[in-house]
């Protein structure tokens, strides 16, 4: 099977640039999730891959076979949308096998594929029903099943789980992942839900304002966000991002000013160091903040301003020197007005330079 190549894909709607210079390759055994806030261009990118939207610039191909000039019909991609249109006069079973009619599949093949898909998507008990007799979740599963029952060049999903309730969504993430693993076709899923992207994607492409900010494996994007946008977007609760300026940086230490408070970091783990005088942003996950006076980045005498019970953990909002610092801790031992000494181990810290881009750490090079 062929890779899906996207090269320099750009879409203008009049003067508005909805997608700008998006390039990536999706392998046949791979699920790529396009993730980003509303309006960042995810669906438009997907529609250009499908041929439902003509690209202003750029190219789409499967292996060596360019399809940019082809209509959606001739691209042979399977797409499941937010808005699933099931044929109302056909039963669930007939809806599911409908795409196989066009492929002239034998009755035996249809039967076998139908039974596999119905099994995985738990639709066995509703196969003889009509769409109006289904719940929203069942309808969506039929739509997904109808999409994956055939063997196209690629599978494209737009928010496939958006209509499901939380419980069903949890179950479906796993089921869809299982189905996708059997497909052996490049698969692109559009979602604004990072949990969905993290669990279903082999790789994630994070988009903002029509551009791809970072592409990587879910854990890499989470642990090594490329810039402050990705850092703030990926992860719940959000990463703490604190802006300051670099006072000096040499081989041994990096000195920063955070609202006038001076902090010093050991420089040895930074492959790229900020220059004196430039602004920097310190990023660290709430889970990495501890109430200790250990070495590392320290926030002495911070004020607890709010506590949020998140079940087994509590998100403790603190104010330190005018900065909001959030700490995620097990249990709930904090109250508003408490004074706390917080610290973050240097290994849990990410430093972003003046342009918001991540400054390379030595550990990144080891991973690479
Ligand atoms: N036909 C169109 N004409 C003009 N602008 C459009 C058109 N289609 C999309 N846009 C704009 O292009 C931008 C990207 O839209 P797109 O639907 O791709 O975003 P998205 O990331 O999928 O958002 P969402 O998560 O809300 O679906 C938006 O600002 C949208 O308003």
For 282, how many CA atoms within 13 A lie in the half-sphere containing its CB?
30
Atom number of ligand 1 nearest to Cα 53: 1
All CATH 3.40.50.300 domain ranges of the chain, comma separated, are 4-227
- Name the CATH topology of 4-227: Rossmann fold (3.40.50)
Cβ atoms of 11 and 48 within 8 Å: the answer is yes
Atom number of ligand 1 nearest to Cα 36: 21
**pLDDT band at residue 82 under the 50/70/90 scheme:** low
Atom number of ligand 1 nearest to Cα 44: 18
* Residue 220 backbone dihedrals phi, psi, to 5 degrees: -65, -40
Cβ atoms of 246 and 280 within 8 Å: the answer is yes
| Centroid of ligand 1 to alpha carbon of 230 (angstroms) | 20
Per-residue model confidence as pLDDT tens digits over 145-160: 888 888 789 999 888 7
Position 222 scores a pLDDT of 92
**Which residue minimizes the CA distance to atom 10 of ligand 1?**
18
Percentages helix, strand, coil for the chain, rounded to the nearest 5? Answer: 30, 35, 35
**Which residue minimizes the CA distance to atom 12 of ligand 1?**
18
Rounded distance, CA 327 to CA 277, Å? 29
Sequence-separated (6 or more) residues with CB below 8 Å from residue 350: 224, 225, 231, 239, 282, 283, 284, 358, 361
Pairing of strands 203-208, 31-35: parallel
**Which residue minimizes the CA distance to atom 11 of ligand 1?**
18
CATH 2.40.50.140 fits 233-367, yes or no: yes
| Centroid of ligand 1 to alpha carbon of 43 (angstroms) | 7
Q: Is the pLDDT reported for residue 366 higher than 60?
A: no
Rounded distance, CA 80 to CA 39, Å? 19
User: What residues does ligand 1 touch, defined as CB less than 6 Å away?
Assistant: 13, 16, 18, 36, 38-44, 192
Rg (CA), the chain: 24
Dihedral of CA 17/30/237/323: which sign?
Answer: negative
pTM (predicted TM-score): 0.85
Q: Is the pLDDT reported for residue 83 higher than 70?
A: no
Mean pLDDT confidence for 200-216: 96
Least confident of 200-214, 234-248, 265-279: 265-279
**Which residue minimizes the CA distance to atom 20 of ligand 1?**
39
All CATH 2.40.50.140 domain ranges of the chain, comma separated, are 233-367
């Amino acid at each position: 099977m062929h890779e899906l190549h996207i090269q320099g894909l750009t879409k203008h709607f009049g003067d508005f640039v909805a997608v700008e210079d998006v390039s990536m390759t999706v392998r046949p055994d791979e699920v790529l999730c396009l993730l980003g806030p509303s309006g960042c261009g995810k669906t438009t990118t997907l529609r250009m891959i499908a041929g439902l939207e003509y690209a202003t610039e750029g190219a789409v191909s499967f292996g060596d076979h360019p399809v940019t000039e082809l209509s959606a019909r001739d691209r042979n991609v399977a797409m499941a949308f937010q808005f699933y249109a099931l044929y109302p006069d056909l039963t669930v079973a007939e809806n599911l096998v409908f795409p196989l009619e066009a492929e002239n599949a034998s009755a035996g093949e249809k039967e076998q594929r139908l039974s596999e898909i119905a099994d995985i998507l738990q639709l066995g008990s509703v196969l003889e029903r009509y769409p109006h007799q289904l719940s929203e979740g069942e309808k969506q599963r039929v739509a997904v099943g109808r999409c994956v029952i055939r063997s196209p060049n690629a599978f494209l999903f737009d928010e496939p789980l958006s209509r499901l309730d939380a419980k069903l969504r949890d179950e479906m993430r796993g089921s869809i992942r299982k189905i996708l693993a059997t497909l052996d076709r490049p698969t692109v899923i559009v979602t604004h839900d990072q949990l969905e992207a993290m669990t279903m994607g082999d790789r994630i492409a994070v988009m903002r304002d029509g551009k791809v900010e970072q592409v990587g494996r879910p854990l890499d994007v989470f642990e090594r966000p490329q810039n402050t946008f990705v850092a703030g977007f990926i992860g719940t609760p959000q990463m703490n991002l604190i802006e300051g300026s670099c006072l000096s940086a040499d081989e041994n230490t990096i000195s920063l000013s955070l609202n006038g408070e001076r902090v010093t970091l050991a420089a040895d783990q930074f492959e790229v160091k900020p220059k004196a005088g430039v602004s920097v942003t310190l990023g660290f996950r709430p889970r990495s903040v501890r109430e200790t006076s250990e070495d590392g980045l320290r926030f002495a005498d911070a004020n607890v301003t709010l506590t949020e019970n998140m079940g087994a953990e509590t998100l403790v909002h603190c104010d330190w020197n005018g900065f909001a610092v959030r700490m995620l801790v097990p249990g709930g031992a904090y109250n508003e007005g408490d004074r706390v000494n917080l610290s973050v181990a240097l290994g849990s810290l990410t430093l972003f330079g003046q342009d918001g881009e991540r400054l390379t750490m030595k550990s990144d090079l080891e991973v690479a």
